Amino acid sequence: MKNFNRHTNIRGATRNHEHHSQNSPGFLTLLRSYFIRHLQVFFYSLGQLSRTPISTIMTCMVIGIALALPTGLNLLLKNAQHLSGGWESTAQISLFLKKSITASQAQKLRTDIQKWPEVISVNYISREQALKEFQRLSGFGDALTALSSNPLPSVLIIKPNLKNTNEQSTLGLLNKLQNLKQTDKAQLDMQWIKRLYAIMDIVQRGVLILGLMLALAVLLVVGNTIRLAIQNRRQEIVVIKLIGGTDAFIRRPFLYTGFWYGLFGGIIAWLLVSFALISLSSPFEKLTSMYQNQFKLTNISFTTTFFLLLISILLGLIGSWFAVGRHLREIEPQ
Amino acid sequence: MIRFINTSKRYSSGFDALKNVSFHLAPGEMAFLTGHSGAGKSSLLKLIALLERSSRGQIIVNNQNLAKISGRRIPYFRRNIGIIFQDHQLLFDRTVYDNVALPLIIAGFSRYDIGRRVRAALDKVGLLNKEKKYPITLSGGEQQRVGIARAVVNKPPLILADEPTGNLDPQLSAEIMKIFQDFSDVGVSVLIATHDIALISELPYRVLSLKQGQLVQDQANQVIAEL
């Protein structure tokens, strides 16, 4: 006791000074310490996670795998679309002309159509050429010579410009050609591409649904992990509430924890997808080379990476926000 | 500093914890709150710290009518009250320094101010040399003093203590009481809930006695009368 008194006397001067100083920090101090506090909590929550590396890594792996699935599938789909874009350019319209059209009329029509913006190129196949080709390809060569007249019409082979157009405009072009007075029949050989598009639409929708479900799974994983973290730190939350900590103050470390989970999960997802693409790329190239196609699997683009990380971080934040919102209210000092 | 006006508290279970309690604790005044367990001591402290709301009557603390403080404002209100618990409520994964610094971090003080104030508070309770220790390595009395340092580090005008000497032997209890007296001497209001009659009978402070939720005695201690 005596010792204690002596002690305080020595420091008495300091304490007197203390009593004149402000009892709450000024605005600028508050603002500065607010940012410093954020920064501290930012790294503090990272430190907390590193204290339990195994469970942290497992949680991040779950998030990573859940996000890698839709990302990878989406990327494969993009590649498939890219590839089918190459096939699409092989689509062509055969414009069978009326028999009454002469060769020079056909040539004139060819140059006219050539000028249309939705057309890349037009090839003219005369009736004679058509017959020759047919004789050569069909194997009916001799039989056809027996015909008194050439039954084949002259044809314009039109390559539509499909770069910046959709199926609708291609059909529009077809109609336009069909309505020409010289036309006997315009035929678009694109049925199989249409089917492919339809399948791709379904797959794309499927990937979207899968992505949404897995995003929900990520939310639940983060939410549950944060819920456990909150329960582990129940005592601390009670104490902080007792000594005047706001809900925002209590929420902050958990939100940053969610942020870190999201970030690391996103990075893991990125790595998984990248590795998967690398391991797929060589068999894929082998396959495409058989089709004389110089096709390379595109890796994750910068934009995709950006959105992957953004979405995973947002999922982490939202998941922890829900968990904190739900469970902080339950913890009240008794 | 604290004024109860015909305050009652009935819990949702139907239990009447406090019945029509009225008293006034002046700024800088120190008083004891006694009574058997279940008499309403804890309920009264909880009402002051806004851990519970009163059912009837008014409570005015630090010139604020508690009924008018919204849930969002409660944290800011609590920063003006230093609360000390029987079980100290320390965080065992942090050092003594970090425990005491917590209210200042919450209030947003600068690092420099935090260091200054934490050391002043630890000095006040005689634990300046223990700031790097973890609470688990301290004795019960020392832990309680860390709790006191944390309660006063923010320089609240009011200190509430709930059985602060409940687990301590008489000598340590006397030391703790001496610390409270020192705070009272510099103008801090102190309200201490305790059933340690032997301890408070030796001290010259006002005693509020509760019995079954009613204030049955409010008087200056005998000691003061004899002086």
Q: What is the pLDDT of residues A261-301, one digit of tens each?
A: 999 999 999 999 999 988 988 888 887 777 656 667 777 88
Give the closest-approach CA distance of A35 to chain B in angstroms. Answer: 10
A29 CB neighbours in chain B (<8 A) are 108-110, 113
Search chain B and give the residue with CA nearest A10: B123
Inspect the interface and report whether the beta carbons of B126 and A240 lie closer than 8 Å.
Answer: no
Search chain A and give the residue with CA nearest B50: A242
CATH of the domain at A98: 3.30.70.3040
Full domain range(s) for residue A44? 31-85+196-328
Inspect the interface and report whether the beta carbons of A15 and B103 lie closer than 8 Å.
Answer: no
Report if residue A177 sits inside a domain. yes
Q: What is the dihedral of CA B88, B91, B93, B97, to 10 degrees?
A: -90
The mean pLDDT value for B190-200 works out to 87
Res A1 pLDDT > 50: no
Search chain B and give the residue with CA nearest A1: B175
The string of pLDDT tens digits covering residues A302-316 is: 999 999 999 999 999
- Strands lying side by side in the sheet with B56-61: B16-25, B2-10, B56-61, B64-65
Who has greater pLDDT, B156 or A100? B156
Report if residue A296 sits inside a domain. yes
Here the tokens at position A150 are 């050439």
Search chain A and give the residue with CA nearest B116: A18
Cβ neighbours of residue A333 closer than 8 Å, sequence gap 6 or more: A238, A241, A242, B51
Report if residue A315 sits inside a domain. yes
Residues A214 and A148 in one domain: no
Inspect the interface and report whether the beta carbons of B75 and A33 lie closer than 8 Å.
Answer: no
Give the closest-approach CA distance of B62 to chain A in angstroms. Answer: 15
Interface test with chain A among B155, B169, B179, by most A beta carbons within 10 Å: B155
Inspect the interface and report whether the beta carbons of A242 and B49 lie closer than 8 Å.
Answer: yes
Work out the angle between the directed axes of helices B140-152 and B96-107 (0-180°, nearest 10): 20
Q: B197 and B177 in contact (C-beta within 8 Å)?
A: no
Q: Is B212 exposed, middle or buried (0-12, 13-18, 19+ CB in 10 A)?
A: middle
**Where along chain B do its domains lie?**
1-80+157-227, 90-155
Question: Residues A44, A46, A47, A49: is their CA dihedral positive or negative?
Answer: positive
DSSP class of residue B61 equals E
Res A110 pLDDT > 60: yes
Give the closest-approach CA distance of A217 to chain B in angstroms. Answer: 32
Could you tell me which residues are beta bridge partners of residue A159? A121
Boundary of a domain, candidates A120, A155, A189: A189
Q: By the CB < 8 Å criterion, does A38 face chain B?
A: no
Cα–Cα dist A128/A137, whole Å: 14
Residues A319 and A230 in one domain: yes
Inspect the interface and report whether the beta carbons of B120 and A18 lie closer than 8 Å.
Answer: yes
What per-residue confidence (pLDDT) applies to B135?
Answer: 93
Indicate the CATH number of B1-80+157-227 among 3.40.50.720, 1.20.910.10, 3.90.25.10, 3.40.50.300: 3.40.50.300
Residues A315 and A231 in one domain: yes
Give how far the C-alpha of residue A183 lies from the chain's centroid of Cα atoms, to the nearest Å.
44
The mean pLDDT value for A230-245 works out to 90
Q: How many domains does one find in chain A?
A: 2
What per-residue confidence (pLDDT) applies to B123?
Answer: 92
Q: CB-CB: which of B75, B108, B175 is closest to A34?
A: B108
The string of pLDDT tens digits covering residues A181-221 is: 888 888 777 667 777 778 888 988 999 999 999 999 999 99
Residues A290 and A157 in one domain: no
Residues A59 and A206 in one domain: yes
The mean pLDDT value for B50-56 works out to 91
Q: Which of B149, B153, B150, B161 is nearest to B48 (CA)?
A: B161
Residues A216 and A317 in one domain: yes
Rg of chain A over all Cα atoms, to the nearest angstrom: 36
